[in-house]
Amino acid sequence: MQRTAVVIGASRGIGAAVVELLANSDRYQSIHAVARTVGASAHAAVATHRVDAGDEAQLRELASRIEGPIDLLLHCVGALDVGPRTPEKSLADLDPALLIAAYTRNVVPAALVLKHFATHLRRSSEAVAIVLSAKVGSIGDNRLGGWYGYRAAKAALNQIIHTAAIELGRGGGPRVLAVHPGTTYTQLSNRYVAKRAGVAPASVTAQRLLRLAAEATPQQSGSFVNWDGTPLPW
């Protein structure tokens, strides 16, 4: 039986590392790497698609071209810096346009991806959808303040994921999880983590996420978890 994986945000960082691992394993025979800018892959199993996940027309067209069930959907799109004063350190830094930009970059793409690939996920008896969120989106864990727009956007993203999991889970649907991937060296985080210990390379984070996907249970669907599957507070 052919198994299909779709990785959104596959051109760099965690998404690119996941595609590389998938391409070098025999678990998935059809791998779709999706990003705004992505080149052809040397791997026969990998099809690349230049698609902006925030553009609904492009996503709709992509979904129509991918036939059959999707067994793994991994969404890696997000942005921390969306303007000159972000992430905001204080209320004085708040700018309505940048708050909207944080939502547009961090929430809308995931919502549209779940919308347009819901049917594909339902066609698989073992489908898992992992949407990368962030621990800073946790309201219960917020003890430092700051990063207003990014925190609020990730909290909203978590609500989208949880609500989608409820809808898709009716009748035994896919497992859908909001996942904090752990602090990882990527273009998004490099300027903030250069001197911190315990930061993982993208290749290690990719391994962790694929392990989580393989071990995810129906009971975990709709939850917000760390990369190792441990629950995080909303």
Is residue 228's pLDDT more than 90? yes
The two three-digit tokens of residue 89, written as one number = 């350190």
Alpha-carbon gap, residue 41 to 44, rounded angstroms? 8
Give 147's pLDDT tier (boundaries 50, 70, 90): very high
Mean pLDDT, to the nearest integer, of 69-94?
93
Global pTM reads: 0.93
Distances (CA, A) of 151 to 20, 58, 99, 218: 30, 28, 10, 27
The b-or-e profile of 155-193 (16+ CB within 10 A means b, else e) is bbbbebbbebbeebeeeebbbbbbbbbbbbbbebbeeeb
Burial category of 23 from C-beta neighbours within 10 Å (exposed 0-12, middle 13-18, buried 19 and up): middle
Among 39-43, 175-179, 216-220, which is the least confidently predicted range? 39-43
pLDDT of residue 85: 74
Contact between 121 and 165 (Cβ < 8 Å): no
Query: What mean pLDDT comes out for the span 79-93?
Result: 90
Closest Cα partner for 169 from 114, 97, 208?
114
Predicted confidence at residue 223, as pLDDT, reads 98
Q: pLDDT tens across 18-73, in order?
A: 999 999 998 999 999 999 998 888 888 999 999 999 999 999 999 999 989 999 99
Average pLDDT of the chain?
Answer: 93
Q: Which CATH class is domain 4-226?
A: alpha beta
By the 8 A CB rule, do 156 and 107 touch?
yes
CA distances in angstroms from 187 to 104, 178, 210, 233, listed in the order given = 19, 21, 21, 26
What's the pLDDT score for residue 187?
58
